[in-house]
């Protein structure tokens, strides 16, 4: 009889875990707390060779995966190109990746609106309880439920995400709505602007429904903005006065907060990025947090993806790291579950730590003030060469 597994979390990391286990012969159910099908609001994902390899290994369709960019370009405050690094890379969208993996899980095994309230591991199996009253018992439990993981909260209650001191603002602009001049200057490159204390990254991604035709694509805008802990509480407060913990749903971001960031953009950013923001859909933000679990497994329970470790998005490794976790997990639990999960943890903790530390390094580089020159013009970052070479690059296992 096939062994059973429950994956908590139906986002990309959970789907990767479910698909790899299914391919290894497990019966897998996915439980997602959201009541409606998930959407990444078109968020961009930078691919790495490790991610492409993982997709091939699970049998996912990688045809027309995304947009190919060839160069990384740094702009100064005047919108001039001051540095170019040839670096071919495919950039895709969250929705494209999620849909690809979601199609590999039967609808009968994917359950929306299920919030885990607790589990009990008795050594022979794991019993699960959900807020809806649903119960399940499985041979293996995988917590792939993001950085606010309910599974990690029970397994490792002392491991809490730590605020990094800045947020990331995201927006998407339709290629067709950009001026011809701006399209020519920025659309086909992985663009960057790096004055002291803040940083912009942007790149083209597919349009809706993975439309890759020129004129139908979008440009993904990513802006790291310092925000004090006190000011963050204000940003996380909606129009009804409710302050949300950790993050706020994008539709609830107040109009005055959006107006504030648009005003800051006009004062700080080059014209190319101001134009992207001006033509974008309503921007939204996410606070940046760090956490690294000291172990990714205990007994018959495992952590994977952001539930196990969050590396700041400078490294662009969230999806790739989740895919690598999933492949290692399925490989190690081929035999005894508890022993296999310990081997899985022994492999993945140091690998995740490498991404975690690289991301923190890039965060420190972003915050440093140059010893000479104008700190606001984007020309004098002492670590420019390293930032352009290491951002969204997975040159570690």
pLDDT tens digit sequence for 355-389: 999 999 999 999 998 888 999 999 999 999 999 99
Instruction: Answer whether residue 23 shows pLDDT above 90.
Output: yes
pLDDT for residue 293: 98
pLDDT tens digit sequence for 184-230: 999 999 999 999 999 999 999 999 888 999 999 999 999 999 999 99
pLDDT tens digit sequence for 27-65: 999 999 999 988 766 688 999 999 999 999 999 988 889
Q: Which residues contact 357 (CB under 8 A, 6 or more apart)?
A: none
Instruction: Answer whether residue 116 shows pLDDT above 90.
Output: yes
pLDDT for residue 42: 61
**Mean pLDDT across the chain:** 95
What domains appear along the chain, each with residue ranges and CATH number?
Answer: 4-39+96-161+290-360 (3.50.50.60), 67-94+162-289+362-390 (3.30.9.60)
pLDDT for residue 397: 62
pLDDT for residue 205: 94
Q: Helices 271-278 and 255-268 meet at what angle, rounded to 10?
A: 160
Closest to 272 measured CA to CA, from 84, 85, 80, 70: 80
User: Quick one: average pLDDT of 82-92?
Assistant: 96
User: Quick one: average pLDDT of 94-113?
Assistant: 95
pLDDT for residue 129: 98
Instruction: Answer whether residue 153 shows pLDDT above 70.
Output: yes
- In angstroms, the Cα distances linking 246 to 12, 188, 241, 368 are 20, 34, 16, 26
pLDDT for residue 360: 96
Q: What are the E-state strand segments in the chain?
A: 4-8, 27-31, 44-46, 67-75, 81-93, 110-111, 116-121, 126-130, 135-138, 140-143, 162-174, 190-193, 199-205, 218-226, 284-292, 297-298, 301-303, 309-310
Give the span between the Cα atoms of 10 and 30, in whole angstroms.
6
Q: Which residues contact 142 (CB under 8 A, 6 or more apart)?
A: 5, 6, 7, 8, 14, 17, 21, 151, 301, 302, 303, 304, 329
Give the span between the Cα atoms of 395 and 397, in whole angstroms.
7
Instruction: Answer whether residue 117 shows pLDDT above 70.
Output: yes
What are the structure tokens assigned to 371, written together?
A: 């010893």
pLDDT for residue 39: 76
- 7 forms beta bridges with 30, 142
Percent of the chain beyond pLDDT 70?
A: 99
Q: Region of 10 please: left (phi>0), alpha (psi -120 to 50) or beta.
A: alpha
Closest to 218 measured CA to CA, from 97, 90, 93, 86: 93
- In angstroms, the Cα distances linking 288 to 24, 225, 312, 313, 378 are 35, 10, 7, 8, 22
What are the structure tokens assigned to 336, written together?
A: 């005894």
- Strands 116-121 and 110-111: what pairing? unpaired
Q: Output the pTM of the full model.
A: 0.94
Provide the b/e sequence for 171-190 (b: ≥16 CB within 10 Å): bbbbbeebeeebbebbbbbb
Q: Is the separation of the CB atoms in 12 and 101 below 8 Å?
A: yes
Q: Helices 318-332 and 49-58 meet at what angle, rounded to 10?
A: 40
**CB-CB neighbours of 121 under 10 Å:** 16
Name the DSSP letter for residue 185.
I
pLDDT for residue 2: 87
pLDDT tens digit sequence for 173-197: 999 999 999 999 999 999 999 999 9
pLDDT for residue 40: 67
On the CB side of 110, CA atoms within 13 Å amount to 21
Q: Is 162 exposed, middle or buried (0-12, 13-18, 19+ CB in 10 A)?
A: exposed
Backbone angles phi, psi at 267, to 5 degrees: -85, -30
pLDDT tens digit sequence for 307-329: 999 999 999 999 999 999 999 99
Name the DSSP letter for residue 358.
H
pLDDT for residue 210: 87
pLDDT tens digit sequence for 258-280: 999 999 999 999 999 999 999 99
Q: Is the separation of the CB atoms in 303 and 297 below 8 Å?
A: yes
User: Quick one: average pLDDT of 330-341?
Assistant: 97
Q: What sections of 312-379 are H helices per DSSP?
A: 318-332, 337-367
């Amino acid at each position: 009889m096939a062994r059973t597994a429950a994956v908590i979390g139906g986002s990309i990391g959970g789907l990767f875990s479910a698909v790899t286990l299914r391919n290894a012969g497990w019966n897998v159910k996915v439980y997602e707390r959201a009541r409606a099908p998930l959407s990444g609001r078109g968020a961009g994902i930078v691919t790495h060779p490790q991610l492409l390899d993982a997709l091939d290994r699970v049998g996912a369709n990688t045809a027309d995966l995304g947009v190919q960019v060839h160069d990384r370009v740094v702009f100064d405050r005047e919108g001039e190109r001051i540095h170019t690094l040839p670096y071919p890379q495919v950039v895709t969208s969250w929705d494209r990746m999620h849909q690809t993996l979601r199609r590999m899980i039967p609808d009968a095994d994917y359950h929306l609106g299920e919030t885990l309230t607790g589990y009990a591991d008795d050594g022979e199996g794991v019993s699960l309880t959900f807020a809806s009253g649903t119960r399940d018992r499985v041979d293996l439990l995988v917590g792939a439920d993001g950085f606010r993981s309910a599974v990690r909260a029970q397994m490792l209650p002392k491991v809490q995400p730590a605020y990094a001191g800045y947020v990331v603002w995201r927006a998407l602009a339709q290629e067709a709505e950009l001026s011809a001049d701006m399209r020519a200057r920025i659309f086909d490159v992985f663009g960057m602007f790096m004055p002291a204390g803040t940083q912009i990254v942007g790149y083209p991604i597919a349009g809706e429904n993975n439309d890759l035709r020129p004129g139908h694509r979008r440009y993904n805008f990513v802006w790291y903005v310092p925000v004090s802990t006190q000011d963050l509480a204000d940003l996380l407060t909606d129009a009804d006065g409710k302050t949300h913990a950790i993050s706020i749903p994008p539709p609830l971001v107040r109009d005055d907060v959006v107006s504030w960031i648009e005003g800051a953009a006009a004062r700080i950013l080059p014209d190319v990025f101001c134009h992207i923001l001006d033509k974008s859909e309503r921007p939204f933000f996410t606070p940046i947090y760090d956490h690294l679990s000291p172990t990714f497994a205990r007994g018959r329970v495992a952590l994977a993806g952001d539930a196990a470790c969050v590396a700041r998005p400078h490294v662009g490794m969230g999806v790739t790291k989740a895919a690598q976790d999933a492949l290692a997990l399925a490989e190690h639990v081929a035999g005894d579950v508890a022993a296999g999960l310990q081997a899985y943890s022994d492999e993945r903790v140091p690998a995740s730590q490498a991404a975690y530390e690289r991301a923190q390094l890039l965060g420190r580089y972003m915050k440093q003030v140059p010893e000479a020159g104008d700190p606001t013009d984007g020309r004098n970052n002492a670590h420019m060469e390293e930032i352009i070479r290491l951002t969204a690059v997975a040159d570690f296992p």
